[in-house]
């Protein structure tokens, strides 16, 4: 197990996949790419590995983890699928959708990973390296985003290294991720609910369901008293620098996170400017979001001013993460 101050990074290869699977089987912690963000994987059936994972991230252990599996068949071993859940899985897996379902009776995932809930979050990632690692490991892998708790999610192996070097055993480098925001989380109970907007736009899910996908009435669960998506703690995505939303101008000493080709007054006085998508493409903006927030956080700006982002498509997830970033850290 790694005890040094650094963590080895292996470029994508068959050998890296085999090393990752071996490491997981030994109770180790592996940073690996998914199409949404980099995940920090542990054997979902190994409570000691999961305890290490919570410690490495500095994550409150009441916050449950997503179990990643290779296919729908493997998912059925741990979660109970009704007709709607099956339809969503068949339409969108592998891909950036997480389903929260009732656990099966003989679900092998450790209670520590699900924070004692009788539900479980399950996802089949689409990234080829994630799929290869899951196939080689041949069991469920819990994987939160591979960042320190409270930080923005990592979209490159270097982000993982900068947060978790020396705290985890291995990082597999698959380059920059394609989607850039975490998976969309849908709770599939009596009526499906959008627990977290994410990399799969709400409209695509509503088209398959043939109905609107409501947000939960508030963030408290009905019967358990547990938050429905507890990880949606307000301060989850905050950089250190204050974030100012809906900026129509830039003040002296601010950095600018721009969107589109519009010009805002004061742009000449910024310490730094990065444009999420000059063409106004929300997919491109999502892919750039966390990396640009991390980069602007390092410029020493007084604040990060963010131009308005439209709310449709991936804009819902982008605005959700920006709103959390603007609330600051706990």
Binding site for ligand TXA (CB under 6 A): 34, 36-37, 39, 63-66, 98, 100, 114, 117, 119-121, 123, 125, 143-145, 182-183, 185, 195-196, 228-232
145 is an interface residue for Mg ion by CB under 5 A: yes
Q: Closest approach of Cβ 295 to ligand TXA, in Å?
A: 21
Residue number, 60 or 262, with CB nearest to ligand TXA: 60
Strands 254-258 and 273-275 turn out to be: parallel
Q: Which helix (H) or strand (E) holds 68?
A: strand 66-68
Cα dihedral 237→39→284→238 (10° resolution): 10
Spatial CB neighbours of 321, under 8 Å, sequence gap ≥ 6: 152, 181, 237, 289, 290
Residue number, 142 or 258, with CB nearest to ligand TXA: 142
98 is an interface residue for Mg ion by CB under 5 A: no
Please count the residues of the chain.
330
36 is an interface residue for Mg ion by CB under 5 A: no
Q: Which stretch binds Mg ion (CB under 5 A): 91-99, 137-145, 154-162, 171-179?
A: 137-145
DSSP secondary structure code for residue 248 in this structure: S
Q: Closest approach of Cβ 155 to ligand TXA, in Å?
A: 11
Supply 159's token pair.
């982000």
Supply 118's token pair.
């009788």
Q: Cα–Cα distance between 234 and 115 in angstroms, integer?
A: 19
Distance of CA 49 to the CA centre of its chain: 20
Residue with nearest beta carbon to ligand TXA: 231
Q: Closest approach of Cβ 24 to ligand TXA, in Å?
A: 14
Residue number, 145 or 275, with CB nearest to Mg ion: 145
Residues forming contacts to Mg ion in the complex (CB under 5 A) are 145
């Amino acid at each position: 197990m790694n005890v040094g101050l650094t963590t080895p990074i292996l470029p994508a290869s068959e050998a890296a996949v085999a090393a990752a699977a071996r490491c997981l089987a030994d109770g180790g912690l592996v940073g690996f790419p998914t199409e949404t963000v980099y995940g920090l994987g542990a054997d979902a059936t190994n409570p000691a590995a999961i305890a290490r994972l919570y410690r490495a991230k500095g994550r409150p252990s009441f916050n449950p983890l997503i179990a990643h599996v290779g296919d729908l068949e493997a998912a059925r071993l741990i979660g109970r699928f009704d007709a709607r859940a099956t339809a969503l899985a068949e339409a969108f897996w592998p891909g950036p959708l997480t389903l929260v379902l009732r656990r099966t009776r003989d679900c092998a995932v450790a209670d520590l990973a699900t924070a004692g809930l009788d539900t479980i979050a399950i996802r089949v990632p689409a990234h080829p390296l994630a799929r290869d690692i899951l196939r080689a490991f041949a069991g469920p892998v819990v994987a939160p985003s591979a960042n320190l708790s409270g930080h923005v999610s990592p979209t490159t192996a270097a982000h993982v290294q900068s947060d978790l070097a020396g705290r985890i055993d291995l990082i597999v480098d698959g380059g920059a991720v394609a989607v850039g925001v975490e998976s969309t989380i849908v709770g599939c109970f009596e009526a499906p609910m959008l627990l977290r907007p994410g990399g799969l736009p709400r409209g695509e899910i509503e088209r398959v369901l043939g109905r609107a996908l409501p947000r939960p009435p508030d963030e408290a669960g009905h019967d358990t008293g547990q938050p429905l998506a507890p990880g949606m703690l307000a301060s989850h995505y905050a950089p250190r620098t204050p974030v100012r939303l809906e900026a129509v101008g830039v003040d002296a000493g601010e950095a600018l996170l721009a969107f589109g080709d519009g010009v805002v007054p004061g742009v000449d006085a910024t310490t730094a400017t990065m444009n999420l998508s000059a063409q106004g493409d929300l997919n491109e903006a999502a892919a750039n979001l966390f990396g640009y927030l991390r980069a602007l956080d390092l410029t020493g700006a007084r604040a990060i001013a963010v131009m308005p982002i439209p709310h449709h498509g991936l804009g819902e997830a982008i605005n959700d993460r920006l709103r959390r970033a603007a609330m600051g850290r706990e």
